[in-house]
Amino acid sequence: MSTKPLFIKSANQLITLKGGSHSPVTKTKMSELSIIENGAVWISDGRIESVGTTNALLEKYKDRLTEAEVIDAIGKIVLPGLVDPHTHLVYAGSREEEFNMRLNGSTYMEIMNNGGGIHATTQKTREASQEQLVQESLVRLNRFLIHGVTTVEAKSGYGLDWETELKQLQAAKRLNHIHPIDIVSTFMGAHAVPAHYKDNPDAFIDLIIDEMLPKVAEQNLAEFNDIFCERGVFTPEQSRKLLNAGKKVGLLPKIHADEIEPYEGAELAAEVGAISADHLLKASEKGIKMMAEKGVIGVLLPGTAFFLMAEAAAGRKMIDQGVAVALSTDCNPGSSPTCSTPFMMNLACMNMGMTPAEAITATTINAAHAINRAADIGSIEEGKKADIIMLNIPNYMQMQYHYGMNHTDTVIKSGEIVVK
């Protein structure tokens, strides 16, 4: 790591998100971005050393200015690197032919129940070498990076057998080493019921609990344990059993909840104390209230609703009722083949009633909370990792106003310039 300090100065708006690191940000606080006009950041040894106005930092560092690399942010905004807290990053192949089938009237669940969907990607992922998974996922990571994303969560779940789940989780570890983006892993052995267990999904849940979860924990392969709780996939009872078993070995619960049909997934997330419940397109009033009470983060995936041509989750209502909302791509080959987290912010404004300010909170500090990293990333505050992006727009509202475009100008990861 270079020892030369970085000095970002003269940012039109420095969006710090200061103050939200302790607990997820809710309600009107989601609109408070803590903006410093004509802002500056001093970065040293990969960490944020000082944050303030350009004048204050010029004064404070006047004797060290010559040793720093200076980045001029005149006319631009500077904000924390985006965090994407829900991706299926590691897989092989793609499924554009299913997209075409859906455009011709088939549904996502029909395709899956006929052996396509998650099963099709599982087949390709089983056949792929770890190296192939790494290479295909690197393409996606590079796409994330140029959109200003500096940390992603990545789930397994295209193995549905131990050998392939392990291969995916190990590929994620390697990717974390070789690529600037930080990757936080989730074990999702219960992503679909494999054909072999079709008539006895309970036995598959038991296999995951008895054989896979202990190995995930022992080998330190993941921090979270996720399940697709959906009619025709796994029931709330099976989900409860699996998530509680994961907790016993130290894996924090996450849940794909109420995506296609209401199924009391949000209620279950509150009951088991999940760190997040994700999707929530069909979450019930009661479930939303319970999530707010228990502090379960709602990770909303408006790209999935967009791509499945479904009505988006009730983001506005969830925020008004006190749910801390985060946003994510759900990057996967079936329901959301995108790496553009900023486009999710556009969709959140257009289809979920969120504001540009709330969308920023939802992709920075709240997204960091959703993967248990808020102490280290998600805001521009002294002591945090220097994951910072600069956008070529003069104010944050233009990020969503000029929609469908990539405004990323510079990406700084752990104090290093990685995109310029």
Query: Can you tell me which residue has the tokens 């598959």?
Result: 204
Contact segment (CB under 6 A) with ligand NIG among 8-16, 114-122, 268-276, 341-349 equals 114-122
Rule CB under 6 A: is residue 116 a binding residue for ligand NIG?
Answer: no
Near ligand NIG by CB under 6 A: residue from 148, 180, 303, 333: 333
Of residues 253 and 415, the one with the C-beta less far from Fe ion: 253
Q: How far is the CB of 86 from ligand NIG (least distance, A)?
A: 7
How far is residue 409 from each of residues 20, 344, 389, 402, measured CA to CA in Å?
A: 26, 19, 8, 15
Of residues 76 and 102, the one with the C-beta less far from ligand NIG: 102
What is the C-alpha separation between 310 and 298, in angstroms, rounded? 18
Element (H, E) at 139: helix 130-146
Rule CB under 6 A: is residue 256 a binding residue for ligand NIG?
Answer: yes
Which residues contribute to the annotated binding site for Zn(2+)?
Answer: 86, 88, 256, 330
Site residue total, ligand NIG (CB under 6 A): 13
CA dihedral 220, 130, 84, 374 (to 10 degrees): 20
Residue 108 DSSP code: H
Q: How far is the CB of 347 from ligand NIG (least distance, A)?
A: 15
Closest CA to 47 of 101, 17, 5: 5
Rule CB under 6 A: is residue 88 a binding residue for ligand NIG?
Answer: yes
Rule CB under 6 A: is residue 49 a binding residue for ligand NIG?
Answer: no
Rule CB under 6 A: is residue 153 a binding residue for ligand NIG?
Answer: no
What is the C-alpha separation between 373 and 71, in angstroms, rounded? 27
Rule CB under 6 A: is residue 342 a binding residue for ligand NIG?
Answer: no
Q: How far is the CB of 186 from ligand NIG (least distance, A)?
A: 11
Contact segment (CB under 6 A) with ligand NIG among 24-32, 168-176, 177-185, 331-339 equals 331-339
Rule CB under 6 A: is residue 121 a binding residue for ligand NIG?
Answer: yes
Pairing of strands 388-391, 6-15: unpaired
Q: What are the b/e assignments for 385-399, b being 16+ CB within 10 Å? A: bbbbbbbebebbbbb
Rule CB under 6 A: is residue 364 a binding residue for ligand NIG?
Answer: no
Rule CB under 6 A: is residue 87 a binding residue for ligand NIG?
Answer: no
DSSP string, 16-83: --TT-SSS---GGGGG---EEEEEEEEEETTEEEEEEEHHHHHHHTTTTGGGSEEEE-TT-EEEEPEE
Of residues 170 and 335, the one with the C-beta less far from ligand NIG: 335
CA dihedral 237, 239, 240, 243 (to 10 degrees): 160
Of residues 334 and 415, the one with the C-beta less far from Fe ion: 334
Rule CB under 6 A: is residue 137 a binding residue for ligand NIG?
Answer: no
Q: How far is the CB of 372 from Fe ion (least distance, A)?
A: 18
Of residues 291 and 389, the one with the C-beta less far from Fe ion: 291
What is the C-alpha separation between 127 and 190, in angstroms, rounded? 19
Residues that bind Fe ion (CB under 5 A): 330
Per-residue x/- track, 210-239, ligand NIG (CB under 6 A): ------------------x-----------
Near ligand NIG by CB under 6 A: residue from 335, 340, 410, 414: 335
Pairing of strands 297-300, 276-279: parallel
Of residues 89 and 175, the one with the C-beta less far from ligand NIG: 89
What tokens were used for 275? 């760190």
In 3-state terms the chain splits into helix, strand, coil percentages (rounded to 5) of 40, 25, 40
Closest CA to 100 of 111, 91, 87, 109: 111
Rule CB under 6 A: is residue 254 a binding residue for ligand NIG?
Answer: no
Q: What are the b/e assignments for 161-193, b being 16+ CB within 10 Å? A: eeebbbbbbbbbbbbbeebbbbbbbbbbbbbbb
Contact segment (CB under 6 A) with ligand NIG among 31-39, 317-325, 328-336, 401-409 equals 328-336
Near ligand NIG by CB under 6 A: residue from 117, 148, 315, 415: 117
Query: Can you tell me which residue has the tokens 């994620």?
Result: 172
Binding residues vs ligand NIG (CB under 6 A): 88, 117-118, 121, 228, 256, 259, 304, 330, 332-335
